[in-house]
Amino acid sequence: MRVACIGTGTIGASWIALFITGTHEVTAWDPTPGWQDRLLAALDRHEPQLHELNMPPVRTRLRLCASLGEAVAEAELVQENAPERIDLKRALVREIASLAPLDSIIASSTSGLLPADIARDISDPGRFLVAHPFFPPHLIPAMEIVGTPEMPTERLEAAVDFYRSIGKQPVLMSHAIPGFIGARLMAAMWREAFHMIAAGEVSMEDIDNIIKGGPGLRYGISGPCEGQLGWVDQREAPGEIDEERWSILMQTDWSRLPGPPLTDALRDILRPQLLAAHAKRIPDEEWEKRLIAVRRAVENI
């Protein structure tokens, strides 16, 4: 695929380092003076890291361009990395849409702006999607993808395939919500953390130590939902919610944020997902081996 990366700051340079590990031809452009030298310096820093992951970048696949038009002229996918301001992103995306091939995909790295809002001024919003990485993109595989309501399924699937081809682990959202997935989860934790700090219940350092030495170690192996299997539902009846345990998790004073009520509709949503999670669950002994490996890796940093 021919990929254009527009904006080569911290996020853009990280994307470029990853893009050139694949078989794709990559062009880059940035409107700020001196961007070429800063990008090459960033690649010097990122390349050894990617070699450690057995993903060597190939700089001959990268071409630095003199203009936005040159960069996107033949692009099949354009990765936009402008600062997180809706006016800047709208203007840049509008210009990209006028210069890039009509069948190209325009992807934004925005961390929270909604795709329909950014693509408001382009004639074909079905070309636009959000492809939000977690920082730094070249080292953290997870990312969130969500298109405008007009985006055809085949374009979304093409984008997912592209990001998978460079080692990303994209999660495709059914529709956009402010903050997407990761930021919303983090916001809930931040709010509770600062409630506790404001009440004098705990310090910032204490909270960081609890996460780093507790659930943070586990989450690299099993996420927060998978980690509750056999607690949210019943061990003797997987997929069926244990009402008493649900009440403990959702309706007690463990959090200042209220949990959702356990309705029949929520049961229907959770049941197949819990069963699927049980089917993929690793044995406890293997989980513990992985936890030891993660702990050793962290302690050896």
Confidence of residue 90 (pLDDT cuts 50, 70, 90): very high
Q: Can you tell me which residue has the tokens 């069926």?
A: 240
Neighbours of 46 (CB within 10 A): 22
User: What would the mean pLDDT of 240-257 be, rounded to a whole number?
Assistant: 74
CATH class, 2-172 region: alpha beta
pLDDT of residue 233: 66
Most confident of 4-8, 197-201, 270-274, 286-290: 4-8
Give residue 119's pLDDT.
97
Give the Cα separation of 15 and 279 in Å (integer).
34
> What share of the chain has pLDDT > 70, as a percent?
96
Name the residue ranges covered by the structural domains of the chain: 2-172, 182-299
pLDDT value of position 127? 97
d(CA 33, CA 19): 23
From CA 130, how far away is CA 171, in angstroms rounded? 11
**Within 13 Å of residue 187, how many CA atoms lie on the same side as its CB?**
9
* Helix runs in the chain, H state only: 10-19, 35-52, 68-72, 86-99, 115-118, 153-165, 182-198, 204-213, 215-219, 243-250, 264-280, 284-299
Reported as a single tens digit per residue, the pLDDT across 173-223 is 999 999 999 999 999 999 999 999 988 999 999 999 999 999 998 888 888
> Contact, 13 vs 42, CB < 8 A?
yes
Tell me the per-residue pLDDT of 132-158, one tens digit each, with 9 for 90 and over: 999 999 999 999 999 999 999 999 999
Neighbours of 133 (CB within 10 A): 24
pTM greater than the 0.85 cutoff: yes
